[in-house]
Structure 1
């Protein structure tokens, strides 16, 4: 798994785990749901809407058609990657809540200011987050809040985001939330708090239209 593409959190390594516990939800059990996290649905429509936002931002950032086609080719798994991010965001937030961690708006704004200075301005930061992590500009602040939650959680645990202790906390949150993925998008590895592909020959690959009229297979 290319974690840099799959999550915009500063989480650089997965834990080496024993046999993973996988969960998956069928379309019959949760019609219209891409995933169910903590009893709350992430609908297919919500997922496709988020993907469309990213594609529109990519299209605006790369007006050259040939270059845009290269972007599409390099992000062909965007739908599944985006769902991974949406689920992991909720898992991390739960882990932070369990640890009594909160993040203020002022902290988010300070982090954004610091990053903008490093990136050469607001536009530079938005472009960097879009290209590296698949985060549309409208959701940048949400992601920065999660970045801070991850940092604070790791600090409270006396570790960093690459170490097993951190991922153990996320695994516990995954179990508490009883993450279910629609099999068309794979399954959720509870131990690693990560989406994984599963062989489901009876499930048709999802194809969705994206901005600019380009088809994309998840």
Structure 2
């Protein structure tokens, strides 16, 4: 059956429900928000990432009321940020297992296409901050993960919404022996999913003209 690439405009992309990946382990090590492959993501590291988003939100709005509204819309920012940090490492492992790599040129090409859709660099930065909680200084890093996810899906002859893609991530999750601090939620695919803003789960690299049909 012919497989079509499904695309979505960045400015209208919806929050996706990302299934949690099965992992080994129980409570995270003391002082850690999570442990991935024996490496700690400390609470301090997580808080630093959350602070980056809050500072970007503060700089992006004109007054205190707008900032408070932005904070209210991202009330689970710490949890969402940690889940994304872990998912990023899982994706890296799955891509490496599949022999997938990403070049700086591929990241720049994606950014150029998205900037054209969003009306420029500033528009893209604003959209990624508002929808995905990605501050401007993390944008290229996040776009690299999007490219990586799409290339992994292609290597698996599937797309990022299909079970084959998530099976590869689940396998990588087991390999990494993820241990999540319970205060930030569960990490168990058997118990369903969690709302997560994960832009690399969507194919957003195609020209905007493909989105208007």
Q: TM-score range by the shorter chain?
A: 0.7 to 0.9
The TM-score, its normalising length taken from structure 2, stands at 0.78
Would you say the 8 A contact 2:27–2:180 is kept in 1? yes
Would you say the 8 A contact 2:23–2:178 is kept in 1? no
Bigger proportion of residues as helix: 2
**Residue 81 (structure 1) shift:** 0.4
| RMSD value, Cα | 2.6
Give CA deviations for 1:41-63 in whole Å, capped at 9, x if unaligned: 11111000000000000011112
Residues 1:88 and 2:115 are matched in the alignment: no
Unaligned ranges ≥5, structure 2: 1-13, 196-213
Residues 1:175 and 2:174 are matched in the alignment: yes
Alignment of 1:122-141 (within 5 A): 122-141=121-140
Which residue of structure 2 aligns with residue 42 of structure 1?
Answer: 41
Q: Give the match's secondary structure for 1:188.
A: coil
Would you say the 8 A contact 2:27–2:182 is kept in 1? yes
- Which consecutive segments of 4 or more residues in structure 1 shift more than 3 A? 10-17, 20-24, 190-196
Give, in whole Å, the separation in 2 of the partners of 1:170 and 1:192.
16
Would you say the 8 A contact 2:153–2:160 is kept in 1? yes
**Residue 11 (structure 1) shift:** 9.5
Q: Give the match's secondary structure for 2:187.
A: strand
Unaligned ranges ≥5, structure 1: 1-9, 197-218
Give CA deviations for 1:118-153 in whole Å, capped at 9, x if unaligned: 111111111100011011111111111110110011
Which residue of structure 2 aligns with residue 25 of structure 1?
Answer: 27
Instruction: Choose between structure 1 and 2 for higher RCO, CA contacts under 8 A separated by at least 6 residues.
Output: 2
Residues 120 and 193 (structure 1 numbering): CA distance in 2 closer, same or farther, change over 3 Å?
farther
**Residue 13 (structure 1) shift:** 5.4
Residues 136 and 14 (structure 1 numbering): CA distance in 2 closer, same or farther, change over 3 Å?
closer
Give, in whole Å, the separation in 2 of the partners of 1:23 and 1:163.
26
Residues 1:166 and 2:165 are matched in the alignment: yes
Q: Give the match's secondary structure for 1:108.
A: helix
Alignment of 1:29-108 (within 5 A): 30-108=29-107
Would you say the 8 A contact 1:21–1:189 is kept in 2? yes
Would you say the 8 A contact 2:17–2:194 is kept in 1? no
Residues 110 and 11 (structure 1 numbering): CA distance in 2 closer, same or farther, change over 3 Å?
farther
**Residue 67 (structure 1) shift:** 1.6
Which residue of structure 2 aligns with residue 203 of structure 1?
Answer: none
Give, in whole Å, the separation in 2 of the partners of 1:42 and 1:73.
25
Which residue of structure 2 aligns with residue 154 of structure 1?
Answer: 153
**Residue 14 (structure 1) shift:** 4.6
